[in-house]
Structure 1
Amino acid sequence: MSNKTLTYCFLLIFAFNSCKKKEIDSIIQDKIIGNWKIKNNEYNKEYLEINGDNTFYYKGVSHLNESFSIGKWKVVKDTLVLNSITPKECLYVVNFGTYCEHADIVIEDKINTTFDDCEPQTISNLYKAFIDTRFVLKKDTMFYVEVNKNCSNELNKIRLYR
């Protein structure tokens, strides 16, 4: 086999694999775009809107406050990854995820805000931060992937469904 033929075969295999990956990513993206309800706990109503332009919008409502987030999303293999964009206003920040109840967890000693040394005007409007927050798609449901080593790694604690 000549070098030209070998190079041509290699390029063909590479092109086929690239197209296949893009096709798989496209199928997953088509499945996740749209509106989702978040099942986290019985006290909050939470919603996530995944847009076709790789942006997302989150809204949460509880009896004490409301929270929101905007940001960008991407798909890595079978996993949706969300990253928030910090707003320009001063707000209290709460990270998205499970709240562990283990005794060995160190509690943060600082109240987080969107900017250092700012004082939010209200406690009833919070910013929910998504920082490399991951969800795995299984059929028609997405499951939150817990990354906190102090929490169990069960996928069924937080789910997104339509």
Structure 2
Amino acid sequence: MKKILPFFIFFILFTTFFNCSKSADNKLKKDKDFVRDWKVLRYPYSNAVLSLFGNNEFKYSETGHTSELYSEGLWSMKNDTLILNSLRPNECLYIDDFSLNEKETFESMKTTLKNCNPKPNSKFFTEFNNSKFIVKTDSLIYLNLNSDYKRQYGNYKIY
């Protein structure tokens, strides 16, 4: 029994160390694959990219046949969930709701600054406000999308 006990303790410590280092390697691999440019398919005629950077900043850009949208801000992770929060620019722009939860007409659209009138043909600011995405191996699944839109058209494709 005295000979088995040290072997058993060694086995437990070795297994624990091996599993911890393996988890750390998987996390590093996941972070390396995760921090990159993600293609976003939101509308049929748009071209969008969500860029995640290692310093926890992000940039989003989208062009369509008649518009140009952008955002930048900070991202964080909680378990397998990516959370984006935009930093509002200090210029007068219309705000695009990424989640499509607000009914938008030009008369009702919010602006980045109070009581301002954006210049014609200016960019739109896409606002991410605690926007959540589940991280899969090769895609992101957006969680805050308008349920009516999601039911009719499906979720955005982000890969």
**Contact (CA 8 Å) 2:141, 2:157: kept in 1 or not?**
yes
Look up the match of 1:3: none
61, 83, 86: which one aligns with 1:84: 86
Q: 2:103 aligns with which of 82, 107, 119?
A: 107
Q: Which runs of 5+ in 2 are unaligned?
A: 1-16
Distance in 2 between the 1:140 and 1:157 partners? 15
Q: Secondary structure at the match of 2:43?
A: coil
- Give % identity: 29
Once the 2 structures are TM-superposed, how far is the Cα of residue 31 of structure 1 from its aligned partner?
2.8
How far apart, CA to CA, are the structure 2 residues paired with 1:43 and 1:128?
17
Q: Which residue of 1 aligns with 2:158?
A: 160
Instruction: Provide the residue aligned with 1:61 in structure 2.
Output: 63
Q: What is aligned with 1:73?
A: 75
Return the TM-score normalized by structure 2. Answer: 0.73
Contact kept in structure 1, 2:93 and 2:122, CA below 8 Å: no
- Residues 76 and 153 of structure 1: CA distance in aligned 2, closer, same or farther (over 3 Å): farther
Structure with higher Rg: it is 2
**Contact 2:145–2:155 (CA under 8 A) maintained in structure 1:** no
1:158 corresponds to which letter in structure 2?
Y
In 2 relative to 1, CA 80–27 (structure 1 residues): closer, same or farther, beyond 3 Å? farther
Corresponding residue for residue 144 of structure 1: 142
Kept in 1, the 8 Å contact 2:40–2:50? The answer is: yes
**How large is the RMSD of aligned CA atoms in angstroms?**
2.8
Please list every run of at least 4 consecutive aligned residues from structure 1 whose deviation after the TM superposition is greater than 6 angstroms. Answer: none
Counterpart of 1:86 in structure 2: which amino acid? R
Q: Which of 21, 39, 42 is residue 41 of structure 2 equivalent to? A: 39
Give the C-alpha shift of residue 59 in structure 1. Answer: 0.4
Amino acid across the alignment from 1:74:
S
In structure 2, distance between residues paired with 1:68 and 1:151: 21
- How far apart in 1 are the matches of 2:147 and 2:80? 22
What is the number of equivalent residue pairs in this alignment?
136
Q: Is the 8 A contact 1:92 1:123 kept in 2?
A: no
- CA distance in structure 2 between the partners assigned to 1:47 and 1:148 by the alignment: 20
Name the counterpart of 1:95: 97
Q: Residue 13 of structure 2 corresponds to which residue in structure 1? A: none
TM-score normalized with structure 1 length: 0.71
Q: 1:129 to 1:25 in 2, by over 3 A?
A: farther
